[in-house]
Amino acid sequence: MTGVLVVTAVPAEAEAIRAGRGPTVTVAPVGVGPAVAGAATARLLALAEAAGRPYRLVVSAGVAGGFTGRVKVGGTVVGTSAVAADLGADSPTGFIPVDQLGMPAELLGGGPTITADPTLVAALRAALPAAAAGPVLTVGTVTGTVAGTDALLRRHPDAVAEAMEGYGVAVAAAHAGLPFVELRTISNPVGPRDRNAWRLREALTALTEAAAALPF
């Protein structure tokens, strides 16, 4: 076991990370979506701590959709925060984020936005100078329309990418008292789903290259 835990959604992403890093980090595919990713990550962290070999940092890594004009397909993203972008309530006037629903703060965990560890962000940005940096949105339902994309960008004007696990992993790391950062490579633009335009192979190759540059 190493001191660095890198979690991905699916095995193909884990294999891409291992191709770049070998055994120098622990890589685990934990499943798709924030709930399963958070639960599985929390279990891995708890087991390592119980075994007396705790991890010292957590990375959520994998392929994502990128917002057009902010990161290109095949590009790399360093997440400065993980945002639970669809956690809240619908209303006649639009989406209401969970932190605006009047719930006690203690019920919100780290809140709908968890800031990535600044030291880890700085290290990744130095190692990957061509990468875009900004908030990565975590969603339970991938955006598939122009209207949905526009609505997300109105609420999160600095967002650079959309994925499905980062916030769940960030919550697990926060509960364990560990630093967290998110690393993504882009297979497709956020918006209408055109599978013929996806570049998954290119994104996985970029993920291997990014993993090889990890400074930890």
* Neighbour tally for 201: CB within 10 Å: 11
Q: What are the structural domain ranges in the chain?
A: 4-212
**Residues facing residue 62 across a β-bridge:** 184
Tokens standing for residue 119: 């030291």
Judge whether residue 199 has pLDDT over 80.
yes
3-state SS assignment for residue 23 = helix
64/189 Cα distance (integer angstroms):
9
Tokens standing for residue 188: 């497709």
Q: Do residues 201 and 190 make contact, with C-beta atoms less than 8 angstroms apart?
A: no
The fold of the 4-212 domain, in CATH, is Rossmann fold (3.40.50)
pLDDT category of residue 83 using cuts at 50, 70 and 90: very high
Looking at residue 94, its pLDDT comes to 78
Phi-psi region of 35 (alpha: psi -120 to 50; beta: other; left: phi over 0): alpha
The share of the chain scoring above pLDDT 70, in percent, equals 96
- Strands, E assignment, the chain: 4-8, 26-29, 57-66, 76-84, 88-89, 96-97, 113-115, 132-138, 161-163, 180-189
Q: What is the mean pLDDT of the segment spanning 44-53?
A: 95
Tokens standing for residue 127: 């190692």
Q: Do residues 13 and 183 make contact, with C-beta atoms less than 8 angstroms apart?
A: no
On whether the pTM is more than 0.95, the answer is: no
Q: What is the mean pLDDT of the segment spanning 67-93?
A: 90
Rg (CA), the chain: 16
Angle between helices 34-50 and 166-175 (to 10 degrees): 30
The values of phi and psi at residue 72, to 5°, are -90, 160
Amino acid at position 116, single letter: A
Q: Could you identify the residue written with the tokens 């890093």?
A: 21
